[in-house]
Amino acid sequence: MLCKLEDLKNKNVVNVRNGIDLGFVDDVVLDTIAAKVLSLVIYGKKKFFGIFGREEDILIPWKDIKIIGDDVVLINVDCATYSNNRLKKRGFFKNLFK
């Protein structure tokens, strides 16, 4: 099955261990030298309509992806694993007062 980035952006990511819907795929991390997809990125939820920034992004390593279906991407990770794979995002006010 061939899949474009635009197709991935319309798919929910669901953890099969606990059934949690993590959201939609927002971005992909590529290794341009080895020509490999390293991980999927799910942007963190906005805090108060984005005024106070957003939560940390979630990185899903490619090795943890089990199935990419027509409507959903199924992953198999421990809850602690993807909470440790979050990218730190600073809010609007934190960026003002570094």
pLDDT tens profile 33-75: 998 989 998 887 766 665 666 678 888 999 999 999 888 999 9
Domains of the chain, by residue range, sit at 5-96
CA distances from residue 47 to 21, 69, 92, 95 in whole angstroms, order as listed: 18, 30, 10, 15
Rounded CA gap, 61 and 89, in Å? 19
- pLDDT of 32 > 60? The answer is yes
Mean pLDDT computed over 6-27: 87
Choice between 11 and 96, residue whose per-residue pLDDT is larger: 11
What homologous superfamily does CATH list for 5-96?
PRC-barrel domain (2.30.30.240)
- The pLDDT assigned to 88 comes to 45
Query: What is the tens place of the pLDDT at every residue in 70-90?
Result: 889 999 887 655 554 554 444
